[in-house]
Amino acid sequence: MGLKVAIVGGSGGIGRALIDELMARYPNVEIAATYLSTAPNDDGVDGIMWAPLDVTNESAVAEWMQSLGSVDWLINAVGVLHSDVHKPEKSLTQFNPDWFMQSMNINCLPTLLLAKHAQAALKQSDNPVFATVSARVGSITDNQLGGWHSYRASKAALNMALKCIAIEWERTLNKARVLSLHPGTTDTLLSKPFQQRVPESQLFSASKTAQFLIEHIADAHAHESGRFIAWDGQTIPW
């Protein structure tokens, strides 16, 4: 049996690059990918099956997971940092409860819903991986600058969720490797407004980031489940 990978948020900058990297590395890979707003035009091409999915909707997540049968790797690349009306907060005066809840809803909740409904699919794999693209700014230990309250808090909550999933699955799905991945600053729509001060050498193309992340996913051992891993393989403190 070949590798079967579910990519949630495959329409995003990093999500799309993960799909392309998987296809380049594993010519027989089967990919089930999701989008929210714009349907990609390669449905059914080269082993990619696209589905629309609002990953904050539990019944939609459950239905999609059930439709997949077995899955080897599930990678969640969904996330939000800003919108047309909201920017990451520079100070508490900019804090907005609705935006905070949207950030939690998109950055944290889906990983718990996916974990709940992916268990049966991952149990059928000999090599299961459950990974979410998080962000270094979700590290409490690493936080020296403050600000970005909603994004940081939602990514810290995401990291706690991943740690809890890893601990629970040591008992119930013990082959699974549960990973929280920091991609590094990557040239996508999400980072576009914040790239000016990033040195060129620290701004990765999405394809470079995807190479790093797929390498870590492919190499992760069972004892590394529950790790927060950066693009360069370093463990980030929670």
Ligand X SMILES: NC(=O)c1ccc[n+]([C@@H]2O[C@H](COP(=O)([O-])OP(=O)(O)OC[C@H]3O[C@@H](n4cnc5c(N)ncnc54)[C@H](OP(=O)(O)O)[C@@H]3O)[C@@H](O)[C@H]2O)c1
Residues that bind ligand X in the complex, under the rule CB under 6 A = 9, 11-15, 35-38, 53-56, 77-81, 106, 133, 135, 183, 185-186, 188-191
| Least distance from ligand X to the Cβ atom of residue 8, Å | 7
* End-to-end alpha carbon distance in the chain: 36
- Closer CB to ligand X, 60 or 120, in the complex: 60
Question: Could you give the CA distance from residue 9 to residue 109 in angstroms, rounded to a whole number?
Answer: 14
Q: Which amino acid type is present at position 213?
A: L
Q: How far is CA 184 from the centre of its chain?
A: 13
Question: Could you give the CA distance from residue 163 to residue 236 in angstroms, rounded to a whole number?
Answer: 13
> What torsion, rounded to 10 degrees, do the Cα atoms 136, 218, 210, 137 define?
0
- Closer CB to ligand X, 98 or 222, in the complex: 98
154, burial (CB in 10 Å: exposed 0-12, middle 13-18, buried 19+): buried
| Least distance from ligand X to the Cβ atom of residue 66, Å | 18
- Closer CB to ligand X, 29 or 53, in the complex: 53
Beta bridge partners of 178: 130
Task: Decide: 163 and 138 in contact? Cβ < 8 Å.
Answer: no
Q: Which two tokens stand for residue 130?
A: 């459950």
- Closer CB to ligand X, 66 or 205, in the complex: 205
- Closer CB to ligand X, 75 or 173, in the complex: 75
- Closer CB to ligand X, 60 or 218, in the complex: 60
| Residue, CB closest to ligand X | 79
| Least distance from ligand X to the Cβ atom of residue 25, Å | 19
| Least distance from ligand X to the Cβ atom of residue 166, Å | 18
Nearest to 20 by CA among 210, 151, 179: 210
| Least distance from ligand X to the Cβ atom of residue 232, Å | 14
The three-point CA angle 121-232-200 to 5° equals 120
| Least distance from ligand X to the Cβ atom of residue 30, Å | 20
